[in-house]
Amino acid sequence: MNATVASTTVASTTGSAPDGLSLRDVLRHPTIMIGGSIMLIMIAAALLAPWLGTVDPQSLSGARRLKPPSTDIWFGGDMVGRDVYSRTIYGARISLMVGLSVAAISITIGLTIGLLAGFVRWVDAIVMRVMDGLMAIPSILLAVALIALTGASVANVILAITLSEVPRVSRLVRSTVLSLKERPFVEAAIVVGTPFPALLWRHILPNTLAPLLVQGSYIFAAAVLTEAALSFIGAGTPPEVPSWGNMISDGRLVFQIAPHLVIFPGVALALTVLAVNMIGDGLRDVLDPNFRAR
């Protein structure tokens, strides 16, 4: 639809990273530092879940049923007596896995499509129309439609969210390639007869890296949110999976008497998305020369 504007909303960086930019500069950026620290905690929680004082997230105990948070049961118990703390910690695994998988797969596919569209005219004409069509379906609805078709599983959720993100990535890559092709250094490389693979590897790909990194973190955040929303409305991960969306969905019927069932997974979810968005914003500030100039 609005190709040019859509890409400006996510920092349409077309130049390479500014000279003299080191990893240290990136890590010292305040929002990246805060977002990165929260993310590290979440990743640690996901990886070390069994050793963090958790019990089996599926185990039932009548004594825990609807218990408010206390020093014994840190985050309280849910309606069927499962431990909310353990489920929240294990929930990080689902969210991070969905976010990472969606970001990685949609960038790989989107990069391929975007490069093809940027260089091959007929691919551009056909494929980008299909992408326009996919983008016209609001992401949750596209995912809902696919999951209604394929059935609820973590893999299908990842697939469904990826499908709605691929068009955005391909569009970004395509517009980056098109503007790079006009740049003197690329024209010069073509004139001196650089073979195509070398042109791609040395001049085009490195320059798509910065915008893709920024876009990738936004996709990660959007995927975590969409997975939770899908699970919440009953079209996401299977109900027995301890994902934050499922926990909130279970808790919503009793949230007036047991708000902790919604609060703990809700805070974990919001914190994770916030952290990833902060990393994205920070990366955009650091990597986009236009933003650095200000």
Shortest Cβ 198–other proteins spacing (Å)? 35
Angle at CA 243, nearest 5°, toward 238 and 247?
95
Single out the residue of 43, 55, 262, 289 in contact with other proteins (rule: CB under 8 A): 262
Coil, helix or strand at residue 83? strand
Taking the C-alpha atoms of residue 218 and residue 274, their distance in angstroms, rounded to an integer, is 10
Shortest Cβ 269–other proteins spacing (Å)? 5
Nearer to other proteins, 116 or 205 (CB): 116
Nearer to other proteins, 94 or 204 (CB): 94
Taking the C-alpha atoms of residue 137 and residue 114, their distance in angstroms, rounded to an integer, is 20
Does residue 169 interact with other proteins by CB under 8 A? no
Task: Note whether 87 and 247 are within 8 A (CB).
Answer: yes
Single out the residue of 86, 139, 208, 246 in contact with other proteins (rule: CB under 8 A): 139
Beta bridge partners of 83: 77
Taking the C-alpha atoms of residue 294 and residue 290, their distance in angstroms, rounded to an integer, is 7
- 174 closest CA partner among 106, 110, 129, 105: 110
Candidates 72-80, 116-124, 143-151, 182-190; binding stretch for other proteins (CB under 8 A): 143-151
Please count the other Cβ atoms lying within 10 Å of the Cβ belonging to residue 253.
11
Single out the residue of 53, 138, 206, 239 in contact with other proteins (rule: CB under 8 A): 138
Coil, helix or strand at residue 53? coil
Nearer to other proteins, 142 or 210 (CB): 142
Does residue 248 interact with other proteins by CB under 8 A? yes
Burial bucket for residue 110 (CB in 10 Å: 0-12, 13-18, 19+): buried
Beta bridge partners of 77: 83
Does residue 47 interact with other proteins by CB under 8 A? no
Single out the residue of 157, 266, 286, 288 in contact with other proteins (rule: CB under 8 A): 266
Single out the residue of 160, 177, 219, 228 in contact with other proteins (rule: CB under 8 A): 228
Candidates 12-20, 45-53, 105-113, 127-135; binding stretch for other proteins (CB under 8 A): 127-135
Does residue 137 interact with other proteins by CB under 8 A? yes
Shortest Cβ 170–other proteins spacing (Å)? 14
Shortest Cβ 168–other proteins spacing (Å)? 11
Shortest Cβ 42–other proteins spacing (Å)? 13
* Residue burial 114-133, b: 16+ Cβ < 10 Å; e: rest: bbbbbbeeeebeebbeebee
Task: Note whether 66 and 47 are within 8 A (CB).
Answer: no
Taking the C-alpha atoms of residue 134 and residue 144, their distance in angstroms, rounded to an integer, is 14
Taking the C-alpha atoms of residue 258 and residue 252, their distance in angstroms, rounded to an integer, is 9
Does residue 214 interact with other proteins by CB under 8 A? no
Residue 192 structure tokens: 């001196």
Nearer to other proteins, 160 or 204 (CB): 160
User: Site residues (CB under 8 A) for other proteins?
Assistant: 1-2, 5-6, 8-9, 129-130, 132-134, 136-142, 144-146, 148-149, 221, 225-226, 228-229, 232-235, 248, 252, 255-256, 259, 262, 266-267, 269-270, 273-274, 277-278, 281, 294
